[in-house]
Amino acid sequence: MKNYDWIIIGGGITGSALAYELSKKKFSVLLLEKDAIANNATLYSYGGLAYWSGTTDETRQLGAEGIELHRHLSEELDGDTEFRELDLLLTINQEDNPQEIAQDYDRFAITPQLLDIKQACELEPLLNPDAIAGALRLPHGQIDPQKTTQAYQVAFRRHGGVIKYESVIDLIRQGDTIQGVITKQNTYQSANTVVAAGGLTRSLLQGRGISVKTYFTHAQLIKTAPVDFELKTIVMPAVQQRFALEATASDLESRSAWEQPEPTIVKSILDPGVVQFRDRSLCIGQISAIATEPKTNFDLALAESQIRHQIAPILPKISEIPGTCHHCLVAFSDRGIADVGAVESLRGLYLFTGFTSTLVFAPAIAKRFANQTIENL
Ligand SMILES: Cc1cc2nc3c(=O)[nH]c(=O)nc-3n(C[C@H](O)[C@H](O)[C@H](O)COP(=O)(O)OP(=O)(O)OC[C@H]3O[C@@H](n4cnc5c(N)ncnc54)[C@H](O)[C@@H]3O)c2cc1C
């Protein structure tokens, strides 16, 4: 049986970027993905590259590395990631004070330009001037996350990487060393195993008796077919409730709620926003909820009407576009910008998940991870 240098569990953007970077360094790598047709956070993502969002020297450097990487990624992978640079427009609610909201953004690597209502509507004519007190403008980037993931996978295969569509159900464990994985069909051995299984990382490891502090939200969003008009920007709210929701994860941790058989459900939040992709299709979102059971069912018809109701005052035209509401899990960490590195007290097992601003940080960290691995040899 072949013994791989690395097995990566999860073929979303994080696992695919890491598999590619390791294969580029001539390691033998097996990427295991459970779904032959993607149905994950990467597929439903806005694709935004928040390279401005670093708040420390380290994350500012990573933001700069990330956007530079994306500027050349299509060429490097020989596959179109649909990268483009465009403005992010953060709408300020009527009841909020624009100057105070702008001050909250002073901590970021790039600070926004504060626009009054007229300037905001000149930049994004679909905005309803009666619904906002102004907006913040930031330089942003966008990729098509699914096409980028596919481009990573094609380039990975070109470097000799192997992709198999099999669900990992167990780890091969010898004492405190992980020596590979077991899928429904096969057993695969490896010197190193990385879990990049997004929102399912926690349950996969918990089921094997390995406790990690990686969390997930349940996201709900509407995807549309291509439309006959063009958005000039990515529109999101300046005050996002998602971050406050994520902060409740550690409260649940302290009550051991993530380990309980009975799921705990925390109230959902809705951050109204919209992005358009190069084919002119839209993604309108987004509801985020914390429920400790990954398989929790959400009423997607209700979610769709709630999203439409909240987007209607800000972007009336968008709220009427027909579309389909989807659900996915989005991993996050409350310990810095990601859960990356060796799993404590085990040899041969690593995490690569839970990223903040995943699309800009994860590709850059994947490159660093592969470089570091070579240096450590
Ligand atoms: C509406 C929305 C908008 C977003 N907008 C942005 C944005 O603008 N910018 C940004 O940076 N981020 C954004 N995000 C977040 C970002 O999309 C995610 O953080 C990112 O896609 C996560 O990638 P991933 O590889 O970690 O997880 P996923 O894409 O979920 O991939 C994990 C993969 O692991 C596989 N897997 C799980 N368990 C197993 C197993 N046992 N065996 C084999 N395979 C397994 C799954 O099938 C899945 O394909 C957004 C997310 C959503 C939902």
Mutate to test the pocket of ligand 1, among 8, 16, 40, 240 (most ligand atoms within 8 A of CB): 40
Kindly state the tokens that stand for 331: 């991993």
Mutate to test the pocket of ligand 1, among 9, 358, 361 (most ligand atoms within 8 A of CB): 358
Domain with CATH 3.30.9.10 in the chain: 84-142+214-333
Supply the pLDDT for residue 160: 98
Q: Which secondary-structure segment (H or E) carries 245?
A: helix 242-254
Average pLDDT over residues 146-162: 98
Supply the pLDDT for residue 164: 98
Nearest CA to ligand 1 atom 20: 42
Nearest CA to ligand 1 atom 31: 12
Supply the pLDDT for residue 377: 80
Domain with CATH 3.50.50.60 in the chain: 3-81+144-213+335-375
Give the percent of the chain with pLDDT over 90.
90
| Nearest by Cα to 86 from 45, 133, 123, 125 | 123
Residue 353 and residue 339: Cα distance in Å, rounded?
5
Q: Kindly give the distance from the C-alpha atom of residue 34 to the centroid of ligand 1, in angstroms, as a whole number.
A: 13
Kindly state the tokens that stand for 122: 């000149």
Average pLDDT over residues 359-375: 96
At 217, give phi and psi (nearest 5°).
Answer: -110, 160
* Other CB atoms within 10 A of residue 221 CB: 25
CA separation, residue 91 to residues 132, 240, 288 (Å): 7, 10, 19
Nearest CA to ligand 1 atom 38: 197
Residue 181 and residue 191: Cα distance in Å, rounded?
11
106, pLDDT greater than 90 = yes
Higher pLDDT, 336 or 276: 276
Q: Kindly give the distance from the C-alpha atom of residue 344 to the centroid of ligand 1, in angstroms, as a whole number.
A: 24
Supply the pLDDT for residue 2: 81
Atom index in ligand 1 nearest the CA of residue 16 equals 25
Within 6 A (CB) of ligand 1 lie: 9-15, 32-35, 38, 40-42, 44-48, 145, 167-168, 196-200, 204, 219, 221, 285-286, 328, 330-331, 353, 355, 357-360
Q: Is 130 helix (H, G, I), strand (E, B) or coil?
A: helix
Q: Kindly give the distance from the C-alpha atom of residue 153 to the centroid of ligand 1, in angstroms, as a whole number.
A: 15
Supply the pLDDT for residue 335: 84
Q: What mean pLDDT is reported for the chain?
A: 96
CA separation, residue 134 to residues 96, 118, 119, 120, 137 (Å): 9, 8, 8, 6, 10
Kindly state the tokens that stand for 131: 């619904």
Q: What CATH number does domain 84-142+214-333 carry, 1.20.1110.10, 3.30.9.10, 3.40.50.720, 1.10.730.10?
A: 3.30.9.10
Average pLDDT over residues 205-219: 94
Mutate to test the pocket of ligand 1, among 200, 201, 276 (most ligand atoms within 8 A of CB): 200
Model confidence at 270, pLDDT cuts 50, 70, 90, reads very high
Average pLDDT over residues 19-34: 98
Q: Kindly give the distance from the C-alpha atom of residue 72 to the centroid of ligand 1, in angstroms, as a whole number.
A: 22
Domain 3-81+144-213+335-375: homologous superfamily in CATH: FAD/NAD(P)-binding domain (3.50.50.60)
76, pLDDT greater than 90 = yes
Average pLDDT over residues 330-340: 92
Average pLDDT over residues 293-319: 96
Model confidence at 11, pLDDT cuts 50, 70, 90, reads very high
Average pLDDT over residues 189-202: 98
Supply the pLDDT for residue 32: 98
- CA end-to-end distance (rounded Å), the chain: 24
| Nearest by Cα to 265 from 306, 237, 298 | 298
191, pLDDT greater than 90 = yes
Q: Kindly give the distance from the C-alpha atom of residue 195 to the centroid of ligand 1, in angstroms, as a whole number.
A: 13
Full-model pTM = 0.97
Nearest CA to ligand 1 atom 19: 358
